[in-house]
Amino acid sequence: MNPRVPALALSLALAACEQRMATMPRYDTYSASPIFPNGAAAESPVAGTVARDDDLTARPATLPDRVDMALLLRGQQRFDIFCAPCHSRLGDGDGMVVRRGFPRPPSFHADALRSAPDAHFYDVITHGYGAMYSYAARVPPADRWAIIAYIRALQLSQHTAAADLPEAARAALAAQP
Quick: pLDDT tens for 59-116. 776 777 788 999 999 999 999 999 999 999 999 999 999 999 999 999 999 999 999 9
Distance CA 56, CA 54 (A): 6
Burial annotation 55-72 (CB, 10 A radius, 16+ → b, else e): eeeeeeeebeeebeeebb
Distance CA 144, CA 127 (A): 12
Q: Does 46 reside within a domain?
A: no
Quick: pLDDT tens for 30-55. 788 888 888 888 888 888 888 877 76
Beta bridge partners of 32: 40
Which pLDDT value is given to residue 63?
75
Q: Does 74 reside within a domain?
A: yes
Structural domains in the chain (count): 1
Report the CATH number that the domain containing residue 98 is assigned in CATH.
1.10.760.10
Q: Does 26 reside within a domain?
A: no
Is residue 86 within 8 A of residue 107, CB to CB? The reply is no
Range of the domain at 92: 69-175
Give the residue-averaged pLDDT of 146-154: 95
Q: Does 118 reside within a domain?
A: yes
Q: Does 136 reside within a domain?
A: yes
